[in-house]
Amino acid sequence: IPGSEYEIETDQVLMAIGEVPQLDFLPQTFETSKDRLKVNHFQMTTEQGVFACGDAAAGPIGTVVDAIATGKRAAEAVHQFLTKDEVKLSAPLENGVPFETLNLDYFHNEPRPQEAQRHPQQLVGDFEEVNLGIGSDDAHYEAERCFSCGTCTYCDNCLVFCPDVAISYKPDGKGYVIDYDFCKGCGICVHECPRNAMSYEEELKWV
């Protein structure tokens, strides 16, 4: 707004992360939830043709990953809305793998690398980043700490622990096949899977 600028003298300015949208400028026809815009699965608000994402949209928020995901979904939906194409969004990950479902007995506890930080005396008088980041070696080390949740890494646990020898390698050696004529559904393979990459469900029998 022209003429609304003003200056304040300070010793130091700290930029906080995490914002809450100010929606006062929007018409009251926009529905909100917890001070954020209500959106559907395509990130469209309750107003036709108006999309919202990131911290402005209601839903799972709090991480950069969430913000980027909603931004991508909104971009796809806007493109298809404007071009009148059939809406076909990227398949969502409906069944995530919570940390509590991992079998941690097969993982070593490795501490995360610590970021170096500038000395407090160096922070006065500039706006340079406080955290100095991590080097290439630490970045590779941090990446190796990934559990690969929900992803089969061919560790052979299911094959080794199956008491009925019902699990074998695929002909090409990439992955496994289960012989359901021998599998009795004990669930040992699922329990011993370190990354929760397996699941089993009760088989319905029609009488």
**In this structure, is residue 98 part of a structural domain?**
no
d(C-alpha 156, C-alpha 127), whole Å: 51
Q: Please check whether residues 173 and 88 belong to one and the same domain.
A: no
**In this structure, is residue 101 part of a structural domain?**
no
Q: Please check whether residues 140 and 156 belong to one and the same domain.
A: no
- pLDDT for 24 equals 87
**CATH number of residue 12's parent domain:** 3.50.50.60
The total of structural domains in the chain comes to 3
Binned at pLDDT 50, 70 and 90, residue 205 comes out as: low
Q: For 122, phi and psi rounded to 5 degrees?
A: -80, -10
- pLDDT for 204 equals 66
Q: Which of 7-21, 27-41, 74-88, 156-170 has the highest mean pLDDT?
A: 156-170
- Give the model confidence (pLDDT) of 65-101 as tens digits: 888 889 999 999 999 899 887 766 665 555 678 899 9
Q: Domain end: 92, 125, 155, which one?
A: 92
Helix (H) or strand (E) run with residue 67 in it: helix 64-83
**In this structure, is residue 2 part of a structural domain?**
yes
Q: Please check whether residues 136 and 155 belong to one and the same domain.
A: no
Q: Please check whether residues 176 and 193 belong to one and the same domain.
A: yes
Q: Please check whether residues 42 and 73 belong to one and the same domain.
A: yes
Q: Please check whether residues 66 and 6 belong to one and the same domain.
A: yes
**Domain encompassing residue 75:** 1-92
Answer yes or no: are the C-beta atoms of 194 and 107 closer than 8 Å: yes
Q: Please check whether residues 78 and 17 belong to one and the same domain.
A: yes
Q: Please check whether residues 58 and 7 belong to one and the same domain.
A: yes
Q: Which of 83-97, 137-151, 192-206 has the lowest mean pLDDT?
A: 83-97
d(C-alpha 68, C-alpha 64), whole Å: 6
**In this structure, is residue 51 part of a structural domain?**
yes
Strand partners, 131: 117
